[in-house]
Amino acid sequence: MKEGKKKQDAPSVCHMYCLLLQDKWAKKMTGLTKELSKKKLICFLFVFVVLSAGFFLYNIYAVFSKKNIEILKNTFSITDKNYNK
């Protein structure tokens, strides 16, 4: 028979700290946004999503741009035939 893992009687300190931090963050954000209308909150969400998507797409473009591809082609790897000579 396989023995099961023993259940922890008390949650770990890290878990409790994360929950405390999450609770404080939620209370602070609730206090900051309680006077904003639903329309303003949706506008802020839209702006955040657009900026995040733009940043993400820019990073993807930067990785696959022609300059970087040429740089990557000029590098050699350990398996390169000329490396071991």
How far is 63 from 7, CA to CA, in rounded Å?
A: 46
pLDDT digits (tens, 9 = 90+) for 60-73: 888 877 776 666 66
What is the reported pLDDT for 46? Answer: 98
| pTM listed for this prediction | 0.51
Tell me the mean pLDDT in the region 30-57.
95
Q: Which of 70, 75, 51 is nearest to 83 (CA)?
A: 75
How far is 33 from 26, CA to CA, in rounded Å?
A: 11
pLDDT category, 22, cuts 50, 70, 90?
very high
For residue 85, the Cα-to-chain-centroid distance in whole angstroms is 43
What is the reported pLDDT for 43? Answer: 96
- Amino acid identity of residue 28, one-letter, is K
- Amino acid identity of residue 25, one-letter, is W
Lowest mean pLDDT among 22-26, 29-33, 59-63: 59-63
Is the CB of residue 38 less than 8 Å from the CB of residue 45?
Answer: no
